[in-house]
């Protein structure tokens, strides 16, 4: 099965059209402005000198490159002259500043005395990876090949320094990203040597004790960058979540490209470990800010969840590749979970602000009680920001949204796979596809696939019952039918969820989902008291238009009203349980992704079970 590229798909209306329009009309320029203000675009000219402010950061190139990639995807769909001009100017600066003889480009290293290719942790190859992704996307969108050719020259230089001649001081990227980018470059240019270079990095990763992270960085263990063993031996996903999923994306690519069963098995084991033991219900990954990392199986603390927006995005990249490698609706299930929850929560409803961390519980009062020290415990911030010092997440959202149709469809031998339900049209391989739906506002999907032989429709993991108006068989989680014009109805009641008892952080707690959307309570809707409220497993919910909570940009899914139990206790810290009284009060739940759009307030996904 092949994944259908977003360029073959047009999202027509509904949930994702709203987000794409916002990204195009607001987010792209907002992120550009913040990056320009902070000097990221000016730095591309490589003219910084000691004493100048601001000083370029080691990963600034990647921020701009991801932004260019996002703009390219927007241009692919429709003209956007202002964005085109801004991106083109940035590309011109990069090409003009590239080292003439080698093709090397890095706005930090070219302006500093430090020798290149010596510090593995310094994001040098990571920046190149993003530049390549941006250049490949730019070529696909505009037909302008100069940026891709320029970055290919740099890739050739990397091949020489790291593979052919081995003059670099380390062997594999300290922040994976180049590996998957080289796969894209190989496919865009038709040059096999880039695929070989990607394979070289994958083969070498974890096989070079001399470049272990623990040797070089006093704070890191080798697990931080999954350096502790060769990738083919891995059974768990560990360390820095974004590093891990970027790396595993390339592992899946190379496994697919070379038919490498050992690599595929390793990728499968890591995917299963991530999803079955280490995933928040929101599709967030990363249980601790220490190393921005996984911790261990079933350790999923809510208030201190790290769950970086980029980690959820990186999981979407990885799962899409796993979906190509092996047909199993679990991959699209995870993609749906991260798209509607862990990724979108990183993005404000007004399109301008971002979360780096996406916790599942916030108590603003307690974020400020640590008064006796200047080193308070790390707690996620309570409001999204427009730019961060480490601003990887905003441009990752900019490139995710216009390409979100990447996840919708697959095709193999006349069968159209519908992985994600988006109101859209598509054309590929002689098929003309029309999918009409309000999903996820409701679960009714009308599909017409002219020119196809079969339809394979994912029945989401959250869905307990559905109807399809044609005969079908279930295969790998997909309802497969010979009909090519069907109506699928996915029943989408509000469902109270529980976690595995091994997840101690969620013990005694329940969460609310409706279709793929995880809900949460906010203090602003519930008199601040959310932490003591109890929800019955069989609670009845009423759906209300999201407009009653949110003015502009209200999400295209309902908010929920129900009844919860509140405890009334006597004064004093402790009392007997017999002295506790209860009362039933109304409560409201909103989509998790929409939290923190109305000022700093309490938030809770896993509420107490009655």
Residue numbers 574-593 binding a copy of itself by CB under 8 A = 574-580
Residues 339-368, one symbol each (x = binds a copy of itself by CB under 8 A, - = not), give ------------------------x-xx-x
Query: Which residue reads 């922040």 in tokens?
Result: 175
Return d(Cα 572, Cα 81) in angstroms, integer.
64
9 in Cβ contact with 425 (< 8 Å): yes
- Report the residue from 166, 209, 377, 430 that binds a copy of itself according to the rule CB under 8 A: 377
* 3-class SS letters over 169-208: CCCCCCCCCHHHHHHHHHHHHCCHHHHHHHHHHHHHCCCC
- Report the residue from 293, 360, 447, 603 that binds a copy of itself according to the rule CB under 8 A: 293
Q: Is 118 left (phi over 0), alpha (psi -120 to 50) or beta?
A: alpha
The Cβ of residue 87 has, within 10 Å, a number of other Cβ atoms equal to 27
Nearer to a copy of itself, 16 or 294 (CB): 294
| Phi–psi pair at 139, nearest 5 degrees | -60, -45
Question: Is 392 part of the annotated catalytic residue set?
Answer: yes
306 in Cβ contact with 288 (< 8 Å): yes
Q: Which residues contact 116 (CB under 8 A, 6 or more apart)?
A: 104, 106, 109, 124
Nearer to a copy of itself, 483 or 536 (CB): 536
Stretch that binds a copy of itself, among 7-15, 73-81, 104-112, 212-220 (CB under 8 A): 212-220
Question: Is 127 part of the annotated catalytic residue set?
Answer: no
Nearer to a copy of itself, 53 or 571 (CB): 571
CB of 456 to a copy of itself, least distance (A): 23
Active-site annotation holder among 46, 127, 241, 392: 392
- Report the residue from 12, 112, 221, 324 that binds a copy of itself according to the rule CB under 8 A: 221
Residues 540-579, one symbol each (x = binds a copy of itself by CB under 8 A, - = not), give ---------------------------xxx-xxxxxxxxx
How many residues touch a copy of itself under the rule CB under 8 A: the total is 73
CB of 529 to a copy of itself, least distance (A): 7
Closest by CA to 461, choosing from 420, 411, 503, is 420
- Report the residue from 108, 224, 318, 595 that binds a copy of itself according to the rule CB under 8 A: 224
Name the 3-class secondary structure at 147.
helix
CB of 58 to a copy of itself, least distance (A): 20
Stretch that binds a copy of itself, among 50-58, 65-73, 372-380, 474-482 (CB under 8 A): 372-380
Interacting residues with a copy of itself between 481 and 500 (CB under 8 A): 495-500
Burial class (CB in 10 A: 0-12, 13-18, 19+), 259: exposed
Burial class (CB in 10 A: 0-12, 13-18, 19+), 243: buried
Residues 502-541, one symbol each (x = binds a copy of itself by CB under 8 A, - = not), give -xx--xxxxx-----------------x-xx-x--xx---
Interacting residues with a copy of itself between 453 and 472 (CB under 8 A): 464
CA end-to-end span of the chain: 46
- Report the residue from 239, 342, 440, 555 that binds a copy of itself according to the rule CB under 8 A: 239
Tell me if 214 contacts a copy of itself by CB under 8 A.
Answer: yes
Which run of H or E residues covers position 434? strand 431-437
* Residues annotated catalytic, as ranges: 292, 392
């Amino acid at each position: 099965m092949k994944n259908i590229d977003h360029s073959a798909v047009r999202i027509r209306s509904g949930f994702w059209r709203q987000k794409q329009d916002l990204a195009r009309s607001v987010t792209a320029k907002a992120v550009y402005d913040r990056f320009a203000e902070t000097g990221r675009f000016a730095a591309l000219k490589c003219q910084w000198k000691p004493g100048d402010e601001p000083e370029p950061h080691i990963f600034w190139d990647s921020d701009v490159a991801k932004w260019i990639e996002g703009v390219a995807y927007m241009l692919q769909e429709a003209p956007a002259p202002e964005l085109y001009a801004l991106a083109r100017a940035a590309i011109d600066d990069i090409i003009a500043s590239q080292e003439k003889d080698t093709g090397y480009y890095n706005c930090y290293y070219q302006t500093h005395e430090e020798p290149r290719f010596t510090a593995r942790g310094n994001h040098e190859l990571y920046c190149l990876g993003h530049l390549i992704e941006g250049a490949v996307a730019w070529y696909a969108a505009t037909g302008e090949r100069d940026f891709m050719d320029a970055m290919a020259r740099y890739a050739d230089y990397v091949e020489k320094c790291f593979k052919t001649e081995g003059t670099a001081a380390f062997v594999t990227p300290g922040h994976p990203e180049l590996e998957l980018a080289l796969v894209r470059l190989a496919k865009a240019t038709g040059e096999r040597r880039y695929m070989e270079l990607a394979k070289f990095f994958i083969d070498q990763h974890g096989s070079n004790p001399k470049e272990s992270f623990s040797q070089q960085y006093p704070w890191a263990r080798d697990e931080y960058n999954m350096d502790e063993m060769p990738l083919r031996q891995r059974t768990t996903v560990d360390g820095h979540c974004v590093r891990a999923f970027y790396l595993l994306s390339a592992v899946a690519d190379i496994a697919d490209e070379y038919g490498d069963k050992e690599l595929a098995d390793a990728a499968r084991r890591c995917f299963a470990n991530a999803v079955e033991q280490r995933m928040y219900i929101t599709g967030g990954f990363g249980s601790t800010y220490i190393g921005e990392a996984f911790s261990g199986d079933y350790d999923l603390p809510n208030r201190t969840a790290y769950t970086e927006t980029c980690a959820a995005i990186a999981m979407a990249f990885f799962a899409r590749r796993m979906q190509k490698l092996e047909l199993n609706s679990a991959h699209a299930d995870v993609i749906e979970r991260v798209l509607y929850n862990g990724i979108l929560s990183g993005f404000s409803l007004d399109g301008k602000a971002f979360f780096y961390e996406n916790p599942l519980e916030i108590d603003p009062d307690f974020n400020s009680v640590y008064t006796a020290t200047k080193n308070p415990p790390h707690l996620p911030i309570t409001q999204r920001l427009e730019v961060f010092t480490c601003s990887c997440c905003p441009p990752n959202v900019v490139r995710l949204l216009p390409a979100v149709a990447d996840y919708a469809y697959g095709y193999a031998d006349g069968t159209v796979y519908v992985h994600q339900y988006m109101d859209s049209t598509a054309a590929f391989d002689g098929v003309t596809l029309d999918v009409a739906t309000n999903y996820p506002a409701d679960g009714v999907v009308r599909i017409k696939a002219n020119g196809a032989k079969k339809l394979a429709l994912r029945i989401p993991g959250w869905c307990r019952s559905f109807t399809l108006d044609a005969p079908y068989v279930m295969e790998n989680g997909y309802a497969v039918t010979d009909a090519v014009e069907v109506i699928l109805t996915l029943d989408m009641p509000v469902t109270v969820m529980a976690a595995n008892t091994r997840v101690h952080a969620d013990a005694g707690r329940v969460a609310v989902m409706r279709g793929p959307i995880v809900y949460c309570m906010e203090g602003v809707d519930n008199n601040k008291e959310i932490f003591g409220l109890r929800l019955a497993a069989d609670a009845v919910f009423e759906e209300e238009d999201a407009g009653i909570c949110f003015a502009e940009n209200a999400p295209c899914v309902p908010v929920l009203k129900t009844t919860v139990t509140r405890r009334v206790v006597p004064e004093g810290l402790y009392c007997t349980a017999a002295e506790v009284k209860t009362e039933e009060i109304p409560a409201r739940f909103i989509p998790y992704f929409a939290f923190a759009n109305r000022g700093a307030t309490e938030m809770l996904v896993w509420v107490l079970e009655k």
